[in-house]
Amino acid sequence: VEKTPNKKGQAVMTQDQTLFIGIDLGGTNIKGGLVDREGKIVSENTVPTGASEPAGHTLGKMTSLIEALMESAGGKVAGVGIGAAGQVDHEKGVFIEGPNVPNWKNVPVAREIQKAINRPVVLDNDAHVAALGEYAYGAGRGAAAMLMVTLGTGVGGGVVLDGRLYRGINNTAGEFGHTTIQHDGPVCACGRRGCVEAFIGTQGILRRAREKMMLDRNSVLHGIPPNEMEPRHVGEAAEKGDPAAQAVLRDIGEFLGAGVANVVNLLNIEKAVIGGGVSNAGEWIFESARERLAKDALTVPRGTVRLVRASLGNLAGIVGAAKLAMEAV
């Protein structure tokens, strides 16, 4: 990893500076927290992102948020980590582009903030950050090798091998959502066919829900206006005992399990940690995912792998970003 002279200078000071700042850049809010080495959030704060404003404005707000947190820590902050959805040049600290902040193109986030606060600043994508957080402080703790899957509009992924986030040669490793489980399957947001995300990302879930509803005229899903339907409606309907909704979630689990089995066979991971909104949709997803995994994974690695629910919830962004900073300083 290339380090700037500034980073090297700061690294000397880390012994007695024990707090880190984690920043989660979302489309609506920028969430920031002061985090200690045990992953405990000491204090946190939120400011609106203002996603439609020029990049400089949002960057300024983020800098002010960081400065306020630093002040409350009395100068004990050793570094800042930032997680954001999208493509990130981790080594250079440049945000290339992403869905939450459409006006950001090739923004040198780390350099700009570092200039203002005189502390090391590191940047990575939200999926990598979530993997780091769950590995260090959540459901992945202690795993020799782990896959993190974040279910949402897209399907994020991150791989931890031998205790370290595996980034690949361009920081793009872990794109579980764009591994293929059916080469002639439905079209994915990436333009290819049959990716995991095409089945279990938001659009995939809603497509499945429409199909299952058509076969069940009594499904409570018919009560939701078609253009207002979200995956959480499917979860709620399943909770109420709706067979069509339960079938959708079981299918989602099966696709998830098939994708995870590929990773298990390739990397012999100890844990697959599943997070994101849809992962709250009861046991239907997990049960069928585990069944599929048991069928598709090879005998030896399936005997040791565990598919578990993430435990940090939406704090993974702050805590994982702080861990990113800890690893860098």
> Which residue number, 148 or 155, has a Cβ lying nearer to Zn ion?
155
Minimum CB separation of residue 255 from Zn ion in Å reads 13
> Which residue number, 13 or 190, has a Cβ lying nearer to Zn ion?
190
Interface residues for Zn ion in 138-197 (CB under 5 A)? 178, 188, 190, 192, 195
From the CB of residue 102, how many other CB atoms can be counted at a distance below 10 Å? 13
Interface residues for Zn ion in 186-225 (CB under 5 A)? 188, 190, 192, 195
> Which residue number, 87 or 268, has a Cβ lying nearer to Zn ion?
87
Minimum CB separation of residue 190 from Zn ion in Å reads 3
Question: 87-89 and 155-161: which strand pairing?
Answer: unpaired
Total residues contacting Zn ion by CB under 5 A comes to 5
DSSP state of 41: E
What is the Cα 325 distance to its own chain's centre?
A: 17
Minimum CB separation of residue 167 from Zn ion in Å reads 20
Minimum CB separation of residue 194 from Zn ion in Å reads 8
Query: By CB under 5 A, is residue 13 in contact with Zn ion?
Result: no
> Which residue number, 50 or 194, has a Cβ lying nearer to Zn ion?
194
Minimum CB separation of residue 116 from Zn ion in Å reads 37
User: What one-character-per-residue DSSP string does 143-211 give?
Assistant: -SEEEEEEESSSEEEEEEETTEE---SSS-TT-GGGSBS-TTSPBPTTS-BSBHHHHHSHHHHHHHHHH
Q: Which residues of 213-244 are buried (b: 16+ CB within 10 A; e: fewer)?
A: beeeeebbbeebeeeebebebbbbbbeeebeb
211 SS3 class: helix
> Which residue number, 58 or 125, has a Cβ lying nearer to Zn ion?
125
Residues that bind Zn ion (CB under 5 A): 178, 188, 190, 192, 195
